[in-house]
Structure 1
Amino acid sequence: MLKPGQTQQDSYAQWVRHALGMARARQGHAVSLFESSVPEPRELLRQTVAAAMAPTLSPYYASAFGGGNPFVLEMLAASYGVAREQVLCTTGATGALALLYRTFAGAGDHILVETPGFDVFETIGADLGYRFETFERTGPTYTIDPAAIAEKIRPDTKMIVLSDLHNPSGMLLDRSVLAELALLAEQRGILLLVDEVYGAYASASDRPVSAAALSPAVVSVSSLTKIFGLGALRCGWIVGSAPVVAAARTLASRIEFGMSTLSHSIAAHVLANPAPFRAHSDHYVAQSRRIFDPWFHEMAAQGLVAGTLPKAGCICFPSLPGIPDTHAFSDWLVETAGVIVAPGEYFGAPGHVRIGYCLEAEQLEAGLAGLAQGIRAYRAMGAGGHGKDLSAAGGLAR
């Protein structure tokens, strides 16, 4: 969500490539604090693939063409408590978002998207002629004012798009607010699209049902990427009312040819036995929060970061007092300390960074040490960004 006229990388995806290139170019180790999921469970994935492929192909190996692997569809329907016709598989959650945009909006149509928010909500429709307008997520928990959204709805508004858990803050939207938004969408005859890729991090008591259960006007999008670290499978899905999903399925039948039968068959195995993958995720969240929470509170006490930690998940979005240009800070931090954090500019909030903290303990400790040292040094230089290589001063393990 960089503003027109800025000369930095146009999208978050482009910035990621730029930052990784900078990290590879420097000598010494680099630590990525921009990761937005738990680490990939490689050994679990290896075991799952081996079991699916030998001595014979698993019965879950079935064509994904025409809406998804049938076993995945059945298991997702059971998990969400809906009919199979209310579920459609896609190539990742981004594929689901793109399909819903193309199904329910056309050139010139108005779409409301949250800010701060993930820039993909706009970039996937950048060349399709949609007219995007933002609504604010505010306060320490990045809540939403339904009345403010109601004032922005126009005759050509087709959908409201938000994330829950919120990306980039990791905050769970209050259930009463989400219910108000669902009712608003239903009354106005528009779609409320809720990206729930982080949703399963929240406890069942805090998030008892998916947003799609609240109204026929709500459609949920999710995947195996963020909660289990299984982005390699590119298994996403849409859950909604039968008419909404039928419309998306009709378009998918015309344009979707890339869904992988192989990766979605592995996804079927994951969904059939999610417990070890969930344990992997829970382990990294618990281990990382034991390290990250004290670091965050100490940094906040020193006035070096500000904000509220989310209750669940693997990301947070603090502000950095005294550092208004976090894009420049992020580049400087990679060059001098080998630590990568995501600039708030790509989420519509300069002066913030998104931190992904689910890493191996040693990596996380090294990355947080480098980030803390970098914030202090950058502020001491008046946010000018000219100074020594911080990794040489012990900010990172070699």
Structure 2
Amino acid sequence: MRQSSVVIDSKLPRVGTTIFTVMSKLAADCGAINLSQGFPDFQADAALFDAALRAMRDGRNQYPPMAGVPELRAAIAGKVAALYGASYDAEHEITVTAGATQAIFTAIAAFVRHGDEVIVFEPVYDSYVPAIETVGGQAVYARLAFPDYRPDWQQLRSLLSPRTRMIIINSPHNPSGSLLDADDLEQLAALTRGTNIVVLSDEVYEHIVFDGVRHQSVASHPELAARSIVVSSFGKTYHITGWKIGYVLGAQELMSEFRKVHQFNVFTVNTPCQLGIAEYMRDASRHLGLAAFYQQKREFFRAQLHHSRFELLPCRGSYFQLARYSAISDLPDRDFAYWLTREVGVAVIPVSVFNHHGHDDRVVRFCFAKQEATLAAAGERLRGV
């Protein structure tokens, strides 16, 4: 292996390989059932593949417009208007991205400058803080209270400062499965009123909300929408995480700044796949039925663990189920996750990795976006622990 002679002053000295890569590799090495990384083990609808293939065969294989093909942006605008009563201009206020992670990084790079503070809620999804630090910002941590993972808006008020440039919210929340309610959006609007704070709202699981509850999108709150970049993901909605296609919504002034960065760190996104998604979106039942589809999987998986020693926490949205394991082991959660993968044959994610300084409530995260046979096989192993 070649060794570089360059001395590197790392921008991210504390960052190594993500826990998702680590646990998926360990699962593969051990032959374990992988309930760690958040991707389905089942195919998407063949009609989506057919639509993308038609676009390829029709010669739509060259660069699309930087902001995304007009057909897809129009489809997104229609969906958002129908669901949230929000009117976004497809030409100036919607941009198609190479997945949600790129969208989040681009938004942070566009608005956060050296020395700016960005408030995040922990447990915090792992891509936020490295992006903040890469552009010279500083993460400030608000706490989602265990075990319900609800925000404390008074605490957030105490964290605001003249240096606060951005607040990142995530609902439905990864990893906890908690939701922000309408009152939460009102609290956030009141706290940011009269400021220049940008809200970055990660809503990639927007269609996976359970028990008849309506997703509270920032797009549906006019005051917040005026200061927000809203992120969503077709990968989560249509079971195509490997396609890496998402989108952002934002007022024209915000989107103009977003696109200044987007055009140079991505430029644009796969043309035929964009067109395939645009065609597929014509049938709204394909995203409107997602909540019932995943609620059935949630109930099936929870039933598998009903007679286990895991204590299941509430799951109001997303396709993740948290569980406390204190009746099984007193190991730290990372060690417990390694043990469970190696000795029991089920890979999970330790929730402490989402916490600043690794605060550990002895909780692990399962992904139930799997076939029932996979969940049943995992359940059999977990009930034996």
- Range into which the TM-score falls when normalised by the shorter chain: 0.7 to 0.9
Match of 1:353 among 350, 364, 368: 364
Aligned to 1:314: 319
Using the TM superposition, give the Cα deviation of residue 176 of structure 1 relative to its aligned residue in structure 2, in angstroms: 0.5
Contact between 2:111 and 2:165, CA under 8 Å: does it hold in 1?
Answer: yes
Residue 222 (1) aligns with residue 226 (2):
no
Distance 1:115 1:337, change over 3 A: same
Aligned to 2:153: 146
Name the SS of the counterpart of 2:201 in structure 1: strand
Residue 23 (1) aligns with residue 27 (2):
yes
Counterpart of 2:34 in structure 1: which amino acid? S
Counterpart of 1:138 in structure 2: which amino acid? A
Residue 334 (1) aligns with residue 334 (2):
no
Rounded to whole Å, the distance in 2 between the matches of 1:208 and 1:330 is 31
Using the TM superposition, give the Cα deviation of residue 70 of structure 1 relative to its aligned residue in structure 2, in angstroms: 1.1
Distance 1:60 1:145, change over 3 A: farther
Name the SS of the counterpart of 2:25 in structure 1: helix
Match of 1:265 among 275, 291, 295: 275
Contact between 2:103 and 2:231, CA under 8 Å: does it hold in 1?
Answer: yes
Aligned to 2:109: 102
Aligned to 1:33: 35
Distance 1:185 1:58, change over 3 A: farther
Rounded to whole Å, the distance in 2 between the matches of 1:159 and 1:269 is 35
Rounded to whole Å, the distance in 1 between the matches of 2:33 and 2:28 is 11
> TM-score, normalized by length of structure 1?
0.81
Residue 291 (1) aligns with residue 303 (2):
no
Rounded to whole Å, the distance in 2 between the matches of 1:196 and 1:283 is 18
Contact between 1:107 and 1:130, CA under 8 Å: does it hold in 2?
Answer: yes
Aligned to 1:366: 377
Distance 1:262 1:323, change over 3 A: farther
Rounded to whole Å, the distance in 2 between the matches of 1:287 and 1:208 is 18
Name the SS of the counterpart of 2:76 in structure 1: helix
Alignment map for 1:367-382 (pairs within 5 Å) = 367-374=378-385
Rounded to whole Å, the distance in 2 between the matches of 1:283 and 1:61 is 35
Write the deviation string for residues 133-182 of structure 1: whole angstroms up to 9, x where unpaired: 11001144311122211110111111111210011111111210122113
What is the number of equivalent residue pairs in this alignment?
Answer: 356
Rounded to whole Å, the distance in 1 between the matches of 2:242 and 2:135 is 27
Name the SS of the counterpart of 1:293 in structure 2: helix
Rounded to whole Å, the distance in 1 between the matches of 2:198 and 2:250 is 10
Write the deviation string for residues 30-69 of structure 1: whole angstroms up to 9, x where unpaired: 2111242544534x24x43334434974598774331112
Aligned to 2:142: 135
Of 364-373 and 229-238, deviating more is: 364-373
Aligned to 2:3: none
Distance 1:40 1:264, change over 3 A: farther
Alignment map for 1:156-167 (pairs within 5 Å) = 156-167=163-174
Residue 239 (1) aligns with residue 249 (2):
yes
Using the TM superposition, give the Cα deviation of residue 372 of structure 1 relative to its aligned residue in structure 2, in angstroms: 3.6
Q: Which runs of 5+ in 2 are unaligned?
A: 1-13, 82-86
Write the deviation string for residues 51-109 of structure 1: whole angstroms up to 9, x where unpaired: 44349745987743311121111111121122222211111011110111011101221
Residue 250 (1) aligns with residue 254 (2):
no
Using the TM superposition, give the Cα deviation of residue 369 of structure 1 relative to its aligned residue in structure 2, in angstroms: 2.6
Rounded to whole Å, the distance in 2 between the matches of 1:151 and 1:192 is 17
Rounded to whole Å, the distance in 2 between the matches of 1:204 and 1:104 is 36
Of 149-158 and 137-146, deviating more is: 137-146
Rounded to whole Å, the distance in 1 between the matches of 2:55 and 2:273 is 18
Rounded to whole Å, the distance in 1 between the matches of 2:278 and 2:331 is 45
Distance 1:54 1:166, change over 3 A: closer
Match of 2:187 among 180, 188, 193: 180
Contact between 2:180 and 2:216, CA under 8 Å: does it hold in 1?
Answer: no
Rounded to whole Å, the distance in 2 between the matches of 1:244 and 1:336 is 50
Rounded to whole Å, the distance in 2 between the matches of 1:159 and 1:112 is 6
Identity rate of aligned residues, in percent? 21
Distance 1:182 1:61, change over 3 A: farther
Aligned to 1:211: 218
Counterpart of 1:352 in structure 2: which amino acid? V
Distance 1:62 1:207, change over 3 A: farther
Aligned to 1:190: 197
Q: Which runs of 5+ in 1 are unaligned?
A: 1-8, 375-398
Rounded to whole Å, the distance in 2 between the matches of 1:55 and 1:257 is 20
Contact between 2:73 and 2:95, CA under 8 Å: does it hold in 1?
Answer: yes
